[in-house]
């Protein structure tokens, strides 16, 4: 790209947004540096820039951008600008970005309900680079708008291709707040949609990425209403984190809340995460929004989410993000997890959730011990030899389990099986610690066999619960 091209681009961005961003400044400096060949951008900006810095990066006090440098703020910390901002412009120009698509499903119905478009950078040297390795750097630059428009155009053309193959599938795109609040956003969106007159706008959902706070909530809300009148829907991404999710919930007419994956990843281990998820689901119900969980990595997490009232899910246990041309076949072949189908017609009772968690914990515990046996790892594993009444299954059995299901057929047998499993696990671990690998192997096999019996008894109890709630 010539220096003249760069200057025209900066001028275009200035006339659109009326402000010049850090990325643009960097871009401008690069352009000027090209003109004055012997001067690097850092020399132009900071004559005393340290010579210890790696080539290609230089530090600029954060206060420089915020304007507080003039007021002499002593706390100003350096903000690292990477030279690849320029490289990211080039990547866009030379078509190095790719759009991948991660399926979203309705676990209860066993159906694919949409896709989330996720950008990747196919770098000729470094391979596929994930978005969080380059987007934060350009968040404050007009380049985030150029990339957002690229994402929108590519998503539309991909939806159009699927439509022609007979597959109507909604796609969510992630747009940054700086893009959405840009004054030309609505015009550009209408313009992009008008290029696909046969494509219903309700196939586009915009996930608002809260990387910066939304300043003018009223203006944002009006914009969302105008888009919704055209059919476009909105989700609040990473709900529960970010700037002011609750304020956004009240003031912004989003259609969907996306429960942040950090809570979902902790769901089966951390009771705090479960309580937060319950609260988000309850909020969604009160505010009449739909709710989806991202970061569903195991079928068990999916079942618990269904029980808690969230049927929509996205995550690695369903599929990772796929290249566009792999999606059609994936959808045709998709089979929901059998444990989800089992619960599809059932109205859940939250008081049954602990049973599922106890079962999950127990299966993880067995897998861990078997893994140690298979890898002949010795030593005394105190965690694994834990008291049978202290492990989560043991606690569940004598407390919740006994109270709720004590008179179910096979319940007392559960206790005996569980006790036997702990005895065998202790033996296995002792064998390991004394180097008797073959003996440990035999114990490991017995442990797995007992787990299967225990789980089949639990399945009977779950079957009785299902019948009661159906």
Task: By CB under 6 A, tell whether 176 contacts ligand C2E.
Answer: yes
Question: Which lies closer to ligand C2E via its Cβ, residue 239 or residue 411?
Answer: 239
Cα separation, 399 vs 404, whole angstroms: 9
Task: By CB under 6 A, tell whether 313 contacts ligand C2E.
Answer: no
Burial class (CB in 10 A: 0-12, 13-18, 19+), 191: exposed
- 156-164, 173-181, 350-358, 360-368 -> range binding ligand C2E (CB under 6 A): 173-181
- The binder of ligand C2E chosen from 56, 78, 130, 463 (CB under 6 A): 130
- The binder of ligand C2E chosen from 297, 389, 439, 445 (CB under 6 A): 297
Task: By CB under 6 A, tell whether 256 contacts ligand C2E.
Answer: no
- The listed partner (Mg ion, ligand C2E, none) that binds 24, CB under 5 to 8 Å by sort, is none
Continuous segment of H or E residues that includes residue 396? helix 392-396
Binders of ligand C2E among residues 194 to 213 (CB under 6 A) are: 207, 209
Contact 310, 293 (CB under 8 A): yes
Cα separation, 13 vs 89, whole angstroms: 13
Task: By CB under 6 A, tell whether 127 contacts ligand C2E.
Answer: no
Name the closest residue to ligand C2E (Cβ): 315
Task: By CB under 6 A, tell whether 118 contacts ligand C2E.
Answer: yes
Contact 237, 172 (CB under 8 A): no
Task: By CB under 6 A, tell whether 337 contacts ligand C2E.
Answer: no
Q: Any idea what the Cα angle at residue 402 is, between residues 272 and 398, rounded to 5°?
A: 65
**For the CA atoms of the chain, what is the radius of gyration?**
28
Q: How many residues bind ligand C2E (CB under 6 A)?
A: 24
Cα separation, 423 vs 419, whole angstroms: 6
CB of 120 to ligand C2E, least distance (A): 7
CB of 200 to ligand C2E, least distance (A): 21
- 198-206, 308-316, 325-333, 400-408 -> range binding ligand C2E (CB under 6 A): 308-316
Short-list 143, 133, 134, 136, CA closest to 6: 143
- The binder of ligand C2E chosen from 30, 86, 273, 294 (CB under 6 A): 294
Cα separation, 460 vs 236, whole angstroms: 40
In the chain, helix, strand, coil percent, each to 5?
Answer: 55, 15, 30
In the complex, the residues that contact Mg ion under the rule CB under 5 A are 174, 207, 237-238
Task: By CB under 6 A, tell whether 22 contacts ligand C2E.
Answer: no
CB of 153 to ligand C2E, least distance (A): 12
Contact 401, 407 (CB under 8 A): no
Continuous segment of H or E residues that includes residue 114? strand 111-123
Q: How far is CA 6 from CA 16, 46, 96, 137, in A?
A: 15, 22, 19, 19
CB of 447 to ligand C2E, least distance (A): 29
Contact 39, 33 (CB under 8 A): yes
- The listed partner (ligand C2E, Mg ion, none) that binds 295, CB under 5 to 8 Å by sort, is ligand C2E
Task: By CB under 6 A, tell whether 238 contacts ligand C2E.
Answer: yes
33 CB-side CA count, 13 A = 15
- The listed partner (ligand C2E, Mg ion, none) that binds 112, CB under 5 to 8 Å by sort, is none
Task: By CB under 6 A, tell whether 180 contacts ligand C2E.
Answer: no
Residue entry with tokens 């990325």: 23
Q: Over the range 211-250, which residues count as b (16 or more CB within 10 Å of their CB) and which as e?
A: beebeeeeebbebbeebbeeebbbbbbbbbebeebeebbe
CB of 116 to Mg ion, least distance (A): 6
- 43-51, 314-322, 336-344, 440-448 -> range binding ligand C2E (CB under 6 A): 314-322
Tokens of 353: 């959730």
Task: By CB under 6 A, tell whether 142 contacts ligand C2E.
Answer: no
Question: Which lies closer to ligand C2E via its Cβ, residue 264 or residue 465?
Answer: 264
Question: Which lies closer to Mg ion via its Cβ, residue 81 or residue 175?
Answer: 175
| 3 state SS of 108 | coil
- The listed partner (Mg ion, ligand C2E, none) that binds 88, CB under 5 to 8 Å by sort, is none
- The binder of ligand C2E chosen from 106, 141, 142, 174 (CB under 6 A): 174
In the complex, the residues that contact ligand C2E under the rule CB under 6 A are 102, 118-119, 130-132, 135, 151, 174-176, 207, 209, 237-238, 261, 294-297, 314-316, 321
């Amino acid at each position: 790209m010539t220096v003249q091209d760069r200057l025209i681009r900066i001028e275009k961005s200035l006339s659109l947004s009326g402000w010049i961003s850090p990325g643009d400044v960097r871009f401008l400096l690069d352009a000027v540096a090209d003109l004055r060949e012997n001067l690097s951008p850092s020399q132009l900006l900071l004559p005393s820039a340290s010579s210890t810095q790696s080539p290609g990066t230089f530090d600029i006090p954060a206060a420089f951008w915020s304007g507080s440098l003039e007021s002499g703020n002593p706390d100003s910390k350096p903000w690292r600008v990477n030279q690849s901002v320029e490289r990211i412009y080039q990547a866009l120009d030379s078509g190095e970005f790719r759009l991948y698509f991660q399926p979203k499903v309705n676990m209860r119905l066993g159906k694919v309900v949409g896709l989330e478009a996720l950008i990747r950078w196919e770098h000729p040297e470094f391979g596929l680079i994930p978005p969080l390795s380059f987007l934060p750097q350009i968040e404050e630059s007009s380049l985030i708008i150029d990339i957002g428009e690229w994402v929108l155009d590519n998503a539309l053309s991909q939806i159009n291709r699927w439509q022609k193959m007979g597959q109507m599938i909604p796609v969510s795109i992630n747009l940054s707040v700086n893009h959405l609040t840009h004054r030309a956003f609505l015009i550009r969106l209408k313009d992009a949609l008008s290029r696909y007159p046969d494509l219903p706008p309700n196939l586009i959902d915009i996930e608002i990425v809260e990387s910066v706070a939304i300043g003018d909530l009223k203006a944002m809300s009006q914009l969302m209403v105008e888009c919704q009148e055209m059919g476009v829907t909105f989700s609040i991404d990473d709900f529960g984190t970010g700037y002011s999710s609750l304020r956004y919930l009240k003031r912004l007419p989003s259609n969907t809340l996306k429960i942040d994956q950090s809570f979902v990843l902790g769901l089966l281990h951390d009771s705090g995460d479960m309580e937060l998820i319950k609260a988000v689901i309850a909020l969604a119900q009160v505010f009449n929004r739909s709710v989806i969980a991202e970061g569903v990595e195991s079928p068990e997490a999916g079942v618990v989410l269904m029980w808690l009232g969230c049927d929509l899910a996205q995550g690695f246990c369903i599929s990772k993000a796929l290249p566009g041309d792999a999606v059609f076949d994936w959808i045709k072949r998709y089979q929901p997890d059998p444990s989800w189908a089992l619960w599809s017609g059932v109205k859940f009772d939250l008081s049954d959730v602990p049973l599922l968690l106890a079962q999950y914990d127990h299966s993880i515990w067995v897998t861990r011990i078997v893994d140690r046996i298979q890898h002949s790892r010795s030593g005394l594993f105190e965690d694994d030899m834990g008291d049978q009444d202290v492990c989560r299954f043991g606690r569940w059995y004598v407390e919740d389990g006994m109270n709720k299901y004590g008179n179910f057929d096979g319940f007392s047998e559960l206790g005996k099986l569980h006790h036997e499993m702990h005895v065998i696990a202790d033996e296995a671990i002792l064998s390991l610690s004394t180097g008797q690998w073959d003996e440990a192997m035999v114990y490991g096999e017995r442990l797995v066999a007992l787990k299967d019996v225990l789980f089949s008894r639990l399945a009977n109890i779950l079957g009785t619960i299902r019948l009661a709630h159906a």
